[in-house]
Chains A and B, each alone.
Chain A
Amino acid sequence: MLSTLNQPQKAALQTKTEELSGSEIVLRALIAEGVETIFGYPGGAIMPIYDALYDYNDQLKHILVRHEQGAIHAAQGFARISGKCGVVFATSGPGATNLVTGLADAQIDSTPVVCITGQVFAHLLGTDAFQETDVINITTPITKWNYQVTDASEIAEVLAKAFYIAKSGRPGPVVIDITKNAQIQKVPFSGYQPCNHIRSYRPKPIVRKEYIQEAAKLINEAERPFVIFGQGVILGQAENEFLKFIEKGGLPAAWTIMGMSAIPTDHPLGVGMLGMHGNYGPNLLTNECDVLIAVGMRFDDRVTGRLDKYAKQAKVIHLDIDPAEIDKNVKATVPVWGDCKETLPLLTELIEQKTYSTWLQKFEDCKLKEQQKVVVPELNPTSDIMTMGEVIRVLNELTEGNAAIVTDVGQHQMVACRYANMNQSKSNITSGGLGTMGFALPAAIGAKFGAPDRTVVAVIGDGGFQMTLQELGTIMQFKPAVKILILNNCFLGMVRQWQQLFHERRYSFVDITSPDFVQVAKGYYIEGARISKREELKDAVKKMLDHDGSYLLEVMVGKENNVFPMVPQGRGVAEIVLGADEV
């Protein structure tokens, strides 16, 4: 174990007793946890920690963002691409409340993030002191755990717990609120003890063999088995175990938006994406399979559509690490509680080697239908107007599926996730559960710090970009080579699509105007270009990718294009439509 630690980690773990300030203990704890990058923004109540940081600059890289929402989204992007825990510093009051959206996002998408917020002096708590907010109560529903520290002697132990809780089991965000007196106070410190057990906390349920056997029996007897998987496969680092499972069983598998990239998108058994704008086959055939095997996914309503019309014919096997997910939305015939890294190999061992050619053919047939009606016109349009899909096609051609793609929220997100090719895990970074516009730019910054060797492309709408574009300042200052690809349809596209389809084209406040994005980027010393002709597309994307450093490319796309297929809200998955004429 010790041999896997880096030098500063080892130093921080050694046990010589010293008098240290709470602030310094915070930094020692971070180093001991292997943290290298912090995203943050200073302020009055966290000044002692920033003061201590001044002396730790060589061991901890601090990225000064332009808004605390940017800090937490960056930490999320960092965590999602690296599998490590993201770390955030923010001050009390407005600094802390600016984290709220990101915390909610990390909570619903199970992203490990530890946020350290400064708080007013303990004796001022509850007095409406300057920049005092009740951070603990504000963040309680949107954190896996939170805790307020008022005494420096608690800091080491509390941070150890924070990292353990954030990373283990089903991961999630943790807020540690530290009063200013505790940051200043000096206490004896004799090394950092990582936490690996909390008596009231069970990160993983015990694996019950009898359920694995039952699950295997169901799979072996199935004629039309269908696997649907989510981010649990990625969070559990069970990509290989998952591949072995579907490959041995010959099982067709579809991903949720959060599960995307856990297997290569071109895998022969990968039949596409589930959900409201997912692929035709996976949605339609959910209601034709006889055994539905859900792995590390939570049956979100965007995946299931109307629950009373969801997979009613199927026996359901549900593998999940979180017992509260079993039966929450869809009743499981066989629940397989546990970490899928452990349960999948056990299951693989018991299933028979099989292929289901007629069943797989059904997916092929559906794919063909979707190709003709949706995919071909989207990727290779015949009109002069550019589509979002063809931009993603060109991106695929140039990156060969090796880029990590960070998407914002809206039509471009659905299009990117529908068409992007991904060869390796942790390549799809998107705000799935919360659908947070403004996520992509800061998350891409964090992702680049989390995986400096990877190409990171942020695909963003003209609306969402304007929500967090201040983070261009962070790019300017710290120079992560983030490629920014704005797909500009001059509309809040996804909302406009709904208004067109479900509100008789009453376009209410969706025509959003934009500044000259290229000029804005230029103001931040970031190079860029805008194109509106197909002839320029390939060269422009190539230039963006080849450019040494960050680059912004704005592509003007069709204003009123729609994303299809679609499972309209309130309908069943089998009622998926391929075009506006069917809505």
Chain B
Amino acid sequence: MSKQEYTITVYTENQIGLLARIAIMFSRRKINIESLNTSSSEVESVHRFTIVIHETEEVVRKLCRQIEKQVEVLKAYYNTDDEIVWQEVALYKVPTDEIAEKVKVERLLRENGARAVLIRKDYTIFETSGHRDETDKLITVLEPYGLIEFVRSARVAIIKNSEGFHKKLRDFELREPGEEVVENEYLGDQEHVFSM
């Protein structure tokens, strides 16, 4: 089995210490986390982790089961890139005089979908979002014009086939949950959304 990029989406209770509990599941197995984002979800009180790793499907599947075993984890999904929509945000700090002088820069930025979020006399900060290669491209574009600083966010992703967590959570609240919650991956075909 070959390695590829997987995005793991973990729905959790919002509890201190959970980040460490989840992070060590990866470090213990010497798996490098390429990107990790935590945020709230569409459901109040439910937290959402988005984690990107480069691994084989088998490793990711086992990992998700171990993650889901943690008491405060509601659900863990893993998806390949074509099953999700994902974005990363990047910020670029460039000397303002360079841009002002060179009209070309202005055009390049527009072509790359960047917009200015702060303009000062000394520097301007641009923001863009997109896939890794897109935000990377803008670095190369801006480098000749004295790129001062660059930063990129973790990946955020939405699973194309997901119906969100509102309905699922109702099931979780029940003492006797439906099959949705305790899905058994062996049952029937694996759907588009892999889940545990």
Residues of A within 8 A of B (CB): 136-137, 140-141, 144-148, 165, 196-202, 205-206, 208, 210-211, 322-324, 327-328, 335, 337
**Interface pair A327/B62, CB less than 8 Å apart:** yes
Q: What CA separation (Å) do A335 and B186 show in the bound complex?
A: 8
Closest to B22 in A: A140
Q: Which of A140, A211, A323 contacts B21 (CB 8 A)?
A: A140
Q: Do residues B182 and A206 form an inter-chain contact, with CB atoms below 8 A?
A: yes
Enumerate B96-125 residues with CB–CB distance to A below 8 Å.
none
Residue A202 contacts which of B16, B17, B21, B182 (CB distance < 8 angstroms)? B182
Q: Is the CB of A200 within 8 A of B184?
A: no
Q: Considering the complex, give the chain A residue whose CB is closest to the CB of B46.
A: A200
C-alpha spacing A198/B13, complex, angstroms: 11
Interface centre among A136, A137, A140, A335 (most CB of B within 10 A): A140
Partner of B187, one of A147, A197, A208: A208
Report whether A200 and B12 are in contact in the complex, using a CB–CB cutoff of 8 Å.
Answer: yes
B30 → A minimal CB distance (Å) = 14
Do A324 and B66 touch (CB < 8 A)? Answer: yes
Contact of A324 among B21, B24, B62, B72 (CB under 8 A): B62
Q: What residues of A have a CB within 8 angstroms of the CB of B182 in the complex?
A: 202, 205-206
> Is the pair A141, B24 in contact by a Cβ cutoff of 8 Å?
yes
What separation, in Å, do the CA atoms of A66 and B177 have in the docked complex? 46
Interface residues of B in 54-71 (CB under 8 A from A): 61-62, 65-66, 68-69, 71
Task: State whether A208 touches B71 (Cβ < 8 A).
Answer: no
Q: Shortest distance in angstroms between A50's beta carbon and chain B's nearest beta carbon? A: 26
For A198, the chain B residues whose CB sits under 8 A away are 71
Question: Are B73 and A323 in contact (CB-based, < 8 A)?
Answer: no
Question: A7 CB to closest chain B CB, in angstroms?
Answer: 29
Bound CA span A322–B66, Å: 10
Residue of B nearest to A211 (CB): B186
Once the chains bind, are B20 and A140 in contact (CB under 8 Å)? yes
Query: A328–B58 Cα gap in the complex (Å)?
Result: 9
Chain A residues near B24: list those with CB within 8 A.
140-141
- Chain A residues in 8 Å Cβ range of B173: 199
Flag B166-196 by CB within 8 Å of A: 1 or 0 each. 0001001101010101101011000000001
Q: Does B74 contact A (CB under 8 A)?
A: yes
Given contacts A137-B20, A199-B172, A200-B74, contact A206 B13 (CB under 8 A): no
CB-based nearest B residue for A136: B17
The verdict on A137 contacting B17 (CB below 8 Å), with A199-B172, A208-B184 known, is yes
A277 to B139, alpha carbons, bound, how many Å? 61
B137 at the interface (CB under 8 A from A): no
Contact B71 A201 (CB under 8 A): yes
Cβ contact within 8 Å between B71 and A165: yes
- Bound Cα distance A335, B187 (Å): 11
Could you list which residues of chain B lie within 8 angstroms of chain A, going by C-beta atoms?
12-13, 16-17, 20-21, 24, 28, 61-62, 65-66, 68-69, 71-74, 169, 172-173, 175, 177, 179, 181-182, 184, 186-187, 196
| B61 neighbours in A (Cβ, 8 Å) | 327
Residues of B within 8 A of A208 (CB): 184, 187
The residue in chain A whose Cβ has the minimal distance to the Cβ of B28 is A141
Which residues of the other chain, A, contact B73 by a CB distance below 8 angstroms?
A: 200
- The contact of B74 among A140, A145, A199, by CB within 8 Å, is A199
User: Across the two chains, which residue of chain B brings its CB closest to A329?
Assistant: B62
A337 touches B184 (CB 8 A): yes
- Contact B74–A328 (Cβ < 8 Å): no
Across the interface, B177 reaches (CB within 8 A) one of A145, A147, A148, A202, namely A202
In the bound complex, residues from chain A placing their C-beta under 8 Å from that of B177 are 202, 206
Is the CB–CB distance between A324 and B65 below 8 Å? yes
Complex: chain B residue closest to A161, CB-CB: B71
Alpha-carbon distance A211/B185, docked complex (angstroms): 12
User: Residues of B contacting A335 with CB < 8 Å?
Assistant: 186
Collect the chain A residues with CB atoms within 8 Å of residue B172's CB: 199-200
Query: Smallest distance from the beta carbon of B168 to chain A beta carbons, Å?
Result: 11
Contact A202–B20 (Cβ < 8 Å): no
Q: Which residue from chain B places its CB closest to the CB of A322 in the assembled complex?
A: B69
11 of the cross-chain contacts (CB-CB < 8 Å) are A140-B21, A148-B16, A165-B71, A199-B74, A200-B13, A200-B172, A201-B71, A206-B177, A323-B69, A328-B65, A337-B184
Determine how close the nearest CB of chain B comes to the CB of A295; give it in whole angstroms.
Answer: 18
Least CB distance from A371 to B in Å reads 41
Alpha-carbon gap, A201 to B177, bound state (A): 11
B71 touches A323 (CB 8 A): no
| A206 cross-chain contacts in B, Cβ below 8 A | 177, 179, 182, 184
Q: Which of B20, B28, B72, B175 contacts A197 (CB 8 A)?
A: B175
CB-nearest residue of chain A relative to B12? A200
A198 and B172 alpha carbons, distance in the complex (Å) = 9
Taken together as a complex, chains A and B put the C-alpha atoms of A199 and B71 apart, in Å, by 9
Closest CB pairs A-B (n = 3): A324-B65, A199-B172, A206-B182
- A147 and B187 CA atoms in complex are apart in Å by 35
Q: Give, as a whole number of angstroms, the nearest-CB distance from A334 to chain B.
A: 9
Smallest CB separation, B119 vs chain A (Å): 40
- Chain A positions within 8 Å of B62 at CB level: 324, 327-328
Tell whether A200 pairs with B20 under 8 Å between CB atoms, given A208-B184, A211-B186, A324-B66: no
Closest to A327 in B: B62
B79, chain A: closest CB distance, angstroms: 19
Q: Which residue of B lies closest to A337 (CB)?
A: B184
Q: How far is the CA of A322 from the CA of B177 in the complex (A)?
A: 17
Q: Which residues of A contact B13 (CB under 8 A)?
A: 200
How long is the Cα–Cα vector from A522 to B92 in the complex, in angstroms?
76
Option from B12, B65, B71, B196 in Cβ contact (under 8 Å) with A145:
B71
B-chain residues with CB within 8 Å of residue A210 when the two chains form the complex: 187
Q: Name B184's contact: one of A141, A199, A201, A205 (CB within 8 Å).
A: A205
Distance from A166 Cβ to chain B, minimum over Cβ atoms (Å):
11
**Residues in B whose Cβ lies below 8 Å from that of A200:** 12-13, 71-74, 172
Chain B, residue nearest A164 (CB): B71
Q: Which residues of B contact A136 (CB under 8 A)?
A: 17
Chain A residues with CB under 8 Å of B196's CB are 323
Q: Give the residues in chain A near B71, CB-CB below 8 Å.
A: 144-145, 165, 198, 200-201
Provide the residues of chain A in CB contact with B186, threshold 8 Å: 211, 335
**Residues on the B chain within 8 Å of A147, using CB:** 17
Q: Which residues of A contact B66 (CB under 8 A)?
A: 324
In the assembled complex, the Cα of A518 lies from the Cα of B158 at a distance in Å of 68
For B12, B69, B173, the residue with the greatest tally of chain A CB atoms inside 10 Å of its CB is: B69
Known pairs A141-B24, A200-B71, A208-B187; list 5 more (Cβ under 8 Å).
A148-B17, A196-B175, A324-B68, A328-B62, A328-B65
In the assembled complex, which residues on chain B have CB atoms less than 8 Å from the CB atom of A145? 71
Measured CA separation A206–B172 after assembly (Å)? 13
- Could you tell me the distance in whole angstroms from the C-beta of A331 to the nearest C-beta in chain B? 10
For B69, list chain A residues within 8 Å (CB): 322-324
Chain A residues with Cβ below 8 Å from B175 are: 196-197
* Given contacts A197-B175, A200-B172, A146 and B187 within 8 Å (CB-CB): no
Q: What is the CA–CA distance of A196 and B176 in the complex, to the nearest angstrom?
A: 12
Q: How far is the CB of A389 from chain B (nearest CB, A)?
A: 39
Tell me the smallest distance from the CB of B153 to a CB of chain A, in Å: 26
